[in-house]
Homo-oligomer: A and B are copies of this chain.
Amino acid sequence: MAFTQRSEPARAAILAAARRRFASDGYERTTIRSVASDAGVDPSMVMRYYQNKEGLFSAAVDIDLHLPDVTGVPREEIAGLLARHFVKRWEGELADEAITVLLRSAITNPAAAERMRTVFGQQVLGLVRMVTGDTPDSAMRAGLISTQVLGIALTRYILQLPPVVALDPETLIELFTPVLDGFLTGPLAAATVARSS
């Protein structure tokens, strides 16, 4: 019942295959059999190492945004840094599929959605607090930033809207920096948030 180092290659192969499948197919369409096949392994091995499909998913989606430390960075440069961070993280041949896995799965799988709320709630909020201090506005600012960041991820990597895909990374960064800056440090609306449930 305990796993040795001998089976680690198999477990790693399974995990890698699972991440690829969850990223491209989402939770429901990803089958244990297909993951096992991709990993060159018997389906029952997947069960033995990850208990069930939900366990496999949890292991595959254990993710971190790796937001940069912005202490000491001048306030007016932070938004640009943030924009660059996200774009760079998600681009490239060997790109980190984390966001795709998480986003694609979070749409239909409640557990993934919950994790998404946690990840963006805590990690982005933490960064905002580094900038604004612990004001009551922080959560709202973090939410607004998430809105734009996830909007890009959705339209560029998942839906692949042509004009959004066509933007080269530097242009993308340049275009969204002012928006993020506005959400991060700019004035908020006159109306206050009535009730937060």
Contact = CB atoms under 8 A, between A and B. Distances in A.
A168 B146 contact: no
Interface in A128-180: 139-140, 142-144, 146-152, 154-156, 158-168, 170-171, 174-175, 178-179
A150 B143 contact: no
A120 to B, nearest CB: 6
A188 interface: yes
A117 B161 contact: yes
Please give the count of copies of this chain that the complex contains: 2
Nearest to A108: B26
* Majority secondary structure of chain A interface residues (helix, strand, loop or mixed): helix
Interface of A: 25-26, 28-29, 103-104, 106-108, 113, 116-117, 120-121, 139-140, 142-144, 146-152, 154-156, 158-168, 170-171, 174-175, 178-179, 182, 188-197
